[in-house]
Amino acid sequence: MTKDVDIDKICTTLDKLTLDTLTLMEEHVQLKLNLENSMNDGILNLAKTRYIMGHNNISSLQLPAEDSSEIEAIAVIHSEENEKLGYRMHDLEVIKKSESNSKIQDPLKWFGVLVPQNLHIAQNRFKQALIWIGEIANIQSRLNYNCNKLEGLRQLKNDAMKTE
Amino acid sequence: MAFSAAKGKLLSVIGDEDTCVGFLLGGVGEINKNRHPNFMVVDKNTAVSEIEDCFKRFIKRDDIDIILINQNIAELIRHVIDGHTQPIPAVLEIPSKDHPYDATKDSILRRAKGMFNPDDFLRST
């Protein structure tokens, strides 16, 4: 009798987790499509900037290389394991330039002093893409957590049914 | 949201030129004290072994929390990505200019889909 109750409990939890996982999967795909839209907008504006400034002026050549001076990231991630929920949560932080932190430099400056408006738009689109990425990372960690839990519960259910 | 005084961790990028330029423009780029960048620009001449090495290097770094990788590049080193099961750093597959997002190739979605094998739902009597 108690075993029956146990299996029923496991099955109910499995059902809930499965539904939750399906919802998360849908949300994950939707967020990736949002990310794709932002990135495509950004890339289109990069292409417009290339048209104005010349092809070689917006390329990997302008990016800092190993021999350039130390550069600090402006967009960083704070993540911590949420003990109540059991999975990691990520939060995006965009560091503002301040006098105490002189290493921080606007990446637009790598491409020149007076850059076209399109490059500013491209930067904003990619900043938006970073926000999506923070959300996707959260969904992904929840999905991973759900998958681990589902695997464990399935095993438990199989074991319980074998001993029945 | 208020952030703790602890320094945030990095996002790293392995991608084509436009993806790297874009996200670095967004502010994820860093060159640390040892002159190690947190990004890698992949072009058609980049060897797969180089991408693999770079990915493994990023996984070992403890200041990186999220690795962004173009989905078409992730396909080249799928065995290495599938072998990475730790939660940190999280590997996010992102679309690129030439390759739109394909949900069927996404590691995490394939894993979640694998959970829904119809046989598992049958309760033997």
ipTM reported for the complex, 2 dp = 0.88
CATH number among 3.40.50.720, 1.10.760.10, 3.40.50.10580, 3.40.50.300, domain B10-121 = 3.40.50.10580
The minimum CA-CA distance between A158 and chain B, rounded to whole Å, is: 9
Minimal Cβ distance to A107: which of B29, B33, B92: B29
* Residue B1 reports pLDDT greater than 70: no
Q: Domain-by-domain residue ranges, chain B?
A: 10-121
* Residue B5 reports pLDDT greater than 70: no
Which phi and psi (to 5°) does residue B40 adopt?
A: -140, 125
Element containing residue B41 per DSSP (H, E): strand B39-41
3-class SS at B37? Answer: strand
Cβ-based contacts of B4 with chain A (< 8 Å)? 78
Domain assignment of residue A132, yes or no: yes
Parent domain of A7: 2-56+119-163
Q: How crowded is residue B85: how many other Cβ atoms within 10 Å of its Cβ? A: 8
pLDDT in tens, B48-102: 999 999 999 999 999 999 999 999 999 999 999 988 888 889 999 999 988 999 8
- Start-to-end C-alpha separation, chain B: 52
Domain assignment of residue A125, yes or no: yes
The residues pairing with A4 across neighbouring beta strands, listed in sequence order, are none
* Residue A104 reports pLDDT greater than 80: no
> How many domains does chain A divide into?
1
| Lowest-confidence segment of A45-59, A60-74, A119-133, B14-28 by average pLDDT | A60-74
CB within 8 Å of chain B, chain A residues 13-72: 18, 21, 24-25, 28-29, 32-33, 35-36, 39-40, 42-43, 46, 58-60, 62-72
Positive or negative: CA dihedral B87, A128, B5, A89? negative
Residue A136 banded pLDDT, cuts 50, 70, 90: very high
| Token duo for residue B104 | 């069927």
Do the bridges between strand A88-94 and strand B10-15 make them parallel or antiparallel, or are there none, so unpaired?
unpaired
Domain assignment of residue A97, yes or no: no
Do A133 and B66 count as a contact with CB atoms less than 8 A apart? yes
Residue B125 banded pLDDT, cuts 50, 70, 90: very low
The C-alpha atoms of residue A82 and residue A88 are separated, in whole angstroms, by 6
A85 touches B at CB < 8 Å: no
Domain assignment of residue A82, yes or no: no
Instruction: State the average pLDDT over residues A6-25.
Output: 90
The C-alpha atoms of residue B125 and residue B114 are separated, in whole angstroms, by 24
The C-alpha atoms of residue B110 and residue A80 are separated, in whole angstroms, by 25
The minimum CA-CA distance between B58 and chain A, rounded to whole Å, is: 15
| Token duo for residue B55 | 């990915």
% residues pLDDT > 70 (chain A):
93
* CB-based contact A28:A143 (threshold 8 Å): yes
Domain assignment of residue A33, yes or no: yes
- pLDDT score, position A40: 95
Which phi and psi (to 5°) does residue A46 adopt?
A: -65, -40
% residues pLDDT > 70 (chain B):
90
Cβ-based contacts of A25 with chain B (< 8 Å)? 109, 112-113
Residue A41 banded pLDDT, cuts 50, 70, 90: very high
Kindly report the average pLDDT of chain A as a whole number.
87
Question: Based on the number of CB atoms within 10 Å of its own CB, is B94 exposed (0-12), middle (13-18) or buried (19 or more)?
Answer: buried
Strand order in the sheet with B90-94: B39-41, B10-15, B64-70, B90-94
3-class SS at B12? Answer: strand
Residue that wins the pLDDT comparison between A95 and A19? A19
| Lowest-confidence segment of A140-144, B101-105, B119-123 by average pLDDT | B119-123
Residue that wins the pLDDT comparison between A159 and A125? A125
